[in-house]
Structure 1
Amino acid sequence: MHSVKRLWLTKDKHAYEQWSFLMDKANLNKNEELDYTIGIYRNETLVATGSYYRNILKCLVVCKDVQSENLLTEIVQHLINRLREEGIDHYFLYTKPQNAGIFRSLGFQTIIETIDILFMEQGVPNFQSYLSQLKEAKKEGSGCGLVMNANPFTKGHQYLVEAASKQSTQVYVFVLSEDRSEFSSEDRLEMVRQGVAHLSNVTVLKTNDYLISSATFPSYFLKDDAVENVAKIQAKLDAQLFKEKIAPVLDIKTRYVGEEPYSRVTNLYNQSMKEVFGTDLELVILPRVSVHGEIISATKVREALRMHDDKRLIDYLPLTTYNYLKKKKKL
């Protein structure tokens, strides 16, 4: 007989030790962000575990000697039921490619697969819904893509879009949809829209959960605390998803990014894109814009906002962003 229990990893030292042992055996990262974890015990021994963070199922492990007992199905079903109780009907899953058959039998569909990771989902709206939205937004002719958080939208971001606009028939600017930034996704999207409104060949799009999100690239949000090898695996998954699934729908031939002198993880992301894109998709890396010898960054803008440094804000922000923040009483 076995029993299912919730694991309180930060409060129960013994439970954490057993969970940690299972994670090590499965060669999984113990520093993942987790909201909820369960375990299956045989007598007093933890033999299986699973967790979720937001709507992402992760850290799923079953001991080899009990893998014939269908415990993985029990764990996944428990986690899905719990998410449904919270009103969440769409969820993601990271697993190893060799587990594809198991999860397909549980109703999961593949979004993208790399050598290291299989990224799957279940529920709606799904990746196919997102691709349909992109098809509807597509303009005539081939083009380029940019992905930005725009937290907030600076003159540096604007320079990138303007440079791409001069060199491409169509420009698609993807603004991160995830709310893990100082400014909300709605505010960031609107600042970008206003900041590029003067460019007739630019289309602004949401990323939903499919580009640089907690699902595809969680290490991006941990920045320099991220474990580098984990970040690289996730960055390659994100880059491959863009190359194989998103770029073809919009006929994107080029991706524009800015140089990254500050963030190790973002710089690693640029390197990973270069590797993954190869000769199929051109990666253009543009130098960052400077004002009075100082490189513009959204981090410096947020610092200027905290310091109420109006002069720096005027130097760093397009008038559209400055006026938007003023209207929103963020200045």
Structure 2
Amino acid sequence: MPAEYLVSKVWPQDRATLAKVDALLAQEGIERDANLDYTCAIVDDDLNVIGTGSCFGNTLRCLAVSSEHQGEGLMNKLITHLIEVEYERGNLKLFVYTKTTAAKFFRDLGFHEIARVDGTLSFLENRPDGFPGYLRRLSSSRRPGTAGAVVMNANPFTLGHRHLVEVAASACDTLHLFVVSEDASLVPFDVRMRLVREGVADLGNVVVHESGPYIISSATFPSYFLKDDVAVNEGHARLDIAVFCRIAAELGITRRFVGEEPASQVTGVYNRVMCEELPHAGIECVVVPRLEVDGSVVSASTVRCALQTGDLDTVRRLVPESTYRFFASDEAEPVLARIRAACDVCHY
């Protein structure tokens, strides 16, 4: 009769157990993710870690069971425990990224696949109507004529973002502008969304959307089961594209506009993969040259650096008036305090 194993929290200061967690993950070809806020483990009578799992936000990550104990229901125990932890935190909408070979296991446990990159990873959620419901809500904003799309973080909204939106909006009847909803940026989502809406309010054919949890930021994309940085960046891009293609089909989008980013390797990979993959779904990828001011490209990181040092003159040259008004007001003080306290505002 199999032993009755318990699932226990692993505290961050318990280095001995974490080392055993890392060893088990390594056996399964997984490296412990840098973005984790809860880890649990199952240990045997000799205190060997034979199963482990973790969370970050409302995502389940880094799940592994020793090959010697597979088939004993330990993975089910781990996932049940993590779901209970998430529910206690108030996270009822849960997501999991896993290898495609393990996707069926999660579907059997009640998760529903949103998208996959064949041979690499699957993206699933625990609600049967989560992504389909999001698509239905988007469909109400579908309009006659040609449709394009822009996806942006806007951390914060700059003249460069405005330029991209203007170029895209002039090339189609309706432009769907998606603002990444995840609060993984120095400028909080509610502020980013407000500044985007104010910054494009005069463009009548632009429809602004929250991305919800379905357009994934680099801060929360899981990298623990991909072999290197290039694989991580390509995997992230391909998953983003797989999700986006379903959104595009719902809204009749046939062009996606992206800003040129020659200095960023990550964005360069994204743009390359989009240019390769989107045409297969009947979507043209249009790379728009960056806006320059005084001989330099406008970037959100430059604006954040200026905000950190209190250089509002530079900020004013690089952002729309609505963005400047916000950062020059007392209302912006909590955001400015966060930026001033950050160690690296240029690449955050």
Q: TM-score with structure 1 length normalisation?
A: 0.92
Structure 2 CA distance for partners of 1:51 and 1:214, relative to 1, 3 Å: farther
The alignment partner of 1:167 has SS state of coil
Percentage of identical aligned residues: 37
Structure 2 CA distance for partners of 1:252 and 1:207, relative to 1, 3 Å: same
The alignment partner of 1:14 has SS state of helix
Q: Which runs of 5+ in 2 are unaligned?
A: 337-348
Question: After superposition, where does 1:13-92 map in structure 2 within 5 Å?
Answer: 13-43=15-45, 44-92=47-95
2:99 paired with 1:96: yes
Q: Aligned AA for 1:36?
A: Y
User: Per-residue displacement from partner, 1:128-184 (whole Å, max 9, x unpaired)?
Assistant: 221121112222223110011111111100000000111111101101111111211
Q: TM-score with structure 2 length normalisation?
A: 0.87
Structure 2 CA distance for partners of 1:196 and 1:93, relative to 1, 3 Å: same
Task: Single out whichever of 162-171 and 302-311 deviates more from structure 2.
Answer: 302-311
Q: Aligned AA for 2:197?
A: R
Match of 1:273 in 2: 274
CA distance in 2 between partners of 1:125 and 1:190 (Å) = 28
Question: After superposition, where does 1:1-331 map in structure 2 within 5 Å?
Answer: 1=3, 2-8=5-11, 10-43=12-45, 44-115=47-118, 116-123=120-127, 126-213=130-217, 217=221, 227-243=229-245, 245-279=246-280, 280-327=282-329, 328-330=331-333
Aligned partners of 1:149 and 1:175 also within 8 Å: yes
Q: Aligned AA for 2:264?
A: S
Q: Aligned AA for 2:250?
A: V
- Residue 241 of structure 1: how far off its partner (Å): 1.1
- Residue 321 of structure 1: how far off its partner (Å): 1.5
Aligned partners of 1:47 and 1:63 also within 8 Å: yes
Aligned partners of 1:90 and 1:125 also within 8 Å: no
Task: Single out whichever of 116-125 and 143-152 deviates more from structure 2.
Answer: 116-125
CA distance in 1 between partners of 2:128 and 2:59 (Å) = 14
Task: Single out whichever of 228-237 and 58-67 deviates more from structure 2.
Answer: 228-237
User: Per-residue displacement from partner, 1:207-263 (whole Å, max 9, x unpaired)?
Assistant: 0111133697357xxxxxx933222212211112112x1110111101111111333
CA distance in 2 between partners of 1:215 and 1:308 (Å) = 26
Task: Single out whichever of 300-309 and 122-131 deviates more from structure 2.
Answer: 122-131
Aligned partners of 1:56 and 1:93 also within 8 Å: yes
CA distance in 2 between partners of 1:257 and 1:158 (Å) = 12
Structure 2 CA distance for partners of 1:125 and 1:109, relative to 1, 3 Å: closer
Q: Aligned AA for 1:274?
A: C
The alignment partner of 1:270 has SS state of helix
